[in-house]
Structure 1
Amino acid sequence: MGPPSMAAAALLAGRRVCALIGAGLSVSSGIPDFRSPGGMYDTLRPELLTASELERRAMRADPTAVVSWEIFSRNQLPYLELRRPFMLGVLDKEEKGKDTYKPTLGHFFFRVCHDKGLLKRLYTQNIDGLDYKTGIPNDKIISVHGSLGRVECEGCKTPYPSEKFCSEVREKIKDIYNIDEHAPKESRPIECLSCGKPLVKPATVLYGRNLPPEFWERKDEDMQDLDVLIVAGTSLAVQPAASLVTLTNKRSARIVVNKEEVERNFPV
């Protein structure tokens, strides 16, 4: 990539813009960054979670195991305990005006791109759902890793009412962060209203599960038919989302906005 002036000129001249965004775009909304030093994975304390010693060893060796299908399929509780305040902050209408997360100027930048007729597609790795609160049409957004904005059974995929889910989380899932004095001392499973299995969670993609079909259906055409790709708030460390940068056509400009150096995935 050339100097900032060249990048800005490329953006202004472009008529087809795609974006790939990550957790860095939502940090100033108060949403924890999972991967950076001090983030959720870096500060994970498996000993606080309702898990077997084998599961805790797996999480110490690789913190992302806490959001893996391998553990969740056997034990739903570590996922729900880790994300308890995050889930309630996104889903619970009772929290409105308290801890509700709001889109940042970075999110609204892409709304401006849409309003000016530039935005072809926004690929978001974030599960917080803030992109949908900007007014960008849903068909312009691909949530690569799913979204906390809706709840379903990971087994049978039956939707679960968000309001009921929040009530169940408050009543059944303990608070490892010690911010809710009314939380239970011990966690209990939340069972699906259809199949009865304890696999209810927000519709996020667990490690070891498939990405949404729209990602696979649209990525090749989108990356080939664009003038500018903007990469913002992501280190490009997670595949297959990071593979998007390898699919761009040779004519397209690539703009990177990230606090830390990104993985070297860009085509030469």
Structure 2
Amino acid sequence: MATIRLSSLDLGGIAEYLKSGACKSVVVLTGAGVSTGAGIPDFRSPGGLYDSLRPELITATENQRSAMRSDPTWVVMKDMFFANQLPYMEVRRPFILGTQHQKWKATISHWFIRFLEEEQFLTRLFTQNIDGLDYQTDLTRELVCNVHGSLGRVSCEGCQQEMPLDDFCVQVRKNIKDIYNVDPDAPKESSNIPCPSCSRPLVKPSTVLFGSSLPRDFFVHCQQELPKADLLIVAGTSLVVAPANQVVQMVGQDCPRLIVNKEPVGAELGIRYGSSATRDVFAGDRSCDEVFLELIRLMGWEDKLRRIRDRLPEGSQALVSAI
């Protein structure tokens, strides 16, 4: 583990550190904020999935709707899913079908992580996102730890048998109603999708439900890699979901931590801001794409970004055009 004194607690200091040769192992933790530039709403921000949830439209009992009103995360709870699969399926419907057709494109933030790999900095990406956009950049799959699973794989919560995504999406279109009222061909009422293997209605994308255990790989990578990290980048996450948020506490005490988020997060986890900051860098009240674009400039990676400009979503392309 390299010891570093940042010349200034800003992005310039982080770029100098990366260029210095002292930083050899970068670990990244991402959340929904790195994908909002692709048009995917996050969960907890105003207008996000939880904020806009309308339980009255969801196929559920009144008690289940009441639970979702008091705490929107009930829609992705393990107990809820095993009692009634339709809330999860109805809320996730457009994201499942959009993932199948790659409706969303990887953003500048995703490509910055790819550039870290190209320059041999990246040790591990821990992503809380289930959208699979990291793989669009051709990031080496073995470097990605999908902390909360992925929409791109489908399996049964009961027997664990996998189901081809395309086959599953046929059933989603046929069986699950559109609570967002954008698909005129969707059924008016929802019905369960049985598992082809065990016949129970527990088949779903391989995302981790609240109340379920995280993949074993998450804990293995944390123990083996975080204590040796030279830099931790935390991007687009509220740091309120455990145990993923514990990543910030598992790096060495001298490891710099770059926080890329529209507001300061993680104070309760020991991240320090302002005059008390000694190793934590807050990138300011900006989008993830804006921050990582600045880092790309500071690192001299503009040509890398220009080469993949056409693979970016429109908002990201506009930012690249300005450099």
| TM-score in terms of structure 2 length | 0.79
3-state SS of 1:249 partner: coil
3-state SS of 1:136 partner: coil
**Matches of 2:26 and 2:182 in 1, distance apart?**
42
In the alignment, what sits opposite 2:16?
Answer: 9
**Matches of 1:177 and 1:3 in 2, distance apart?**
42
Number of residue pairs matched?
262
3-state SS of 2:89 partner: helix
In the alignment, what sits opposite 1:200?
Answer: 203
In the alignment, what sits opposite 1:78?
Answer: 87
Query: Can you give the 5+ residue segments of structure 1 that lack an aligned partner in the other structure?
Result: none
**Matches of 1:222 and 1:126 in 2, distance apart?**
20
3-state SS of 1:20 partner: strand
Task: Give the number of the structure whose alpha-carbon radius of gyration is greater.
Answer: 2
Letter in 1 for 2:270: F
In the alignment, what sits opposite 2:168?
Answer: 165
In the alignment, what sits opposite 1:248?
Answer: 251
Contact 1:10 1:253 in 2 (8 A): no
**Matches of 1:204 and 1:42 in 2, distance apart?**
20
Letter in 2 for 1:104: T
Find 1:140's aligned residue among 143, 158, 169: 143
In the alignment, what sits opposite 2:133?
Answer: 130
After superposition, residues 1-268 of structure 1 pair within 5 angstroms as: 2-13=9-20, 14-91=23-100, 93=101, 100-264=103-267, 265-266=269-270
In the alignment, what sits opposite 2:3?
Answer: none
CA deviations over 1:86-124 (Å, ceiling 9, x no partner): 110002x4xx6xxx1110011010110001111000000
Shift in Å at residue 221 of structure 1?
1.8
Higher helix share: 2
- Between stretches 231-240 and 18-27, larger displacement belongs to 231-240
Identity of aligned residues (%): 50
Shift in Å at residue 68 of structure 1?
0.4
Shift in Å at residue 267 of structure 1?
5.3
Shift in Å at residue 154 of structure 1?
1.0
3-state SS of 1:73 partner: helix
Contact 1:10 1:228 in 2 (8 A): no
**Matches of 1:124 and 1:11 in 2, distance apart?**
22
Contact 1:21 1:233 in 2 (8 A): yes
Shift in Å at residue 259 of structure 1?
1.0
Shift in Å at residue 229 of structure 1?
0.5
Letter in 1 for 2:74: A
In the alignment, what sits opposite 2:275?
Answer: none
Contact 1:7 1:254 in 2 (8 A): no
Query: Can you give the 5+ residue segments of structure 2 that lack an aligned partner in the other structure?
Result: 1-5, 273-323
**Matches of 1:6 and 1:35 in 2, distance apart?**
31
Q: Which runs of 4+ in 1 moved over 3 A?
A: none
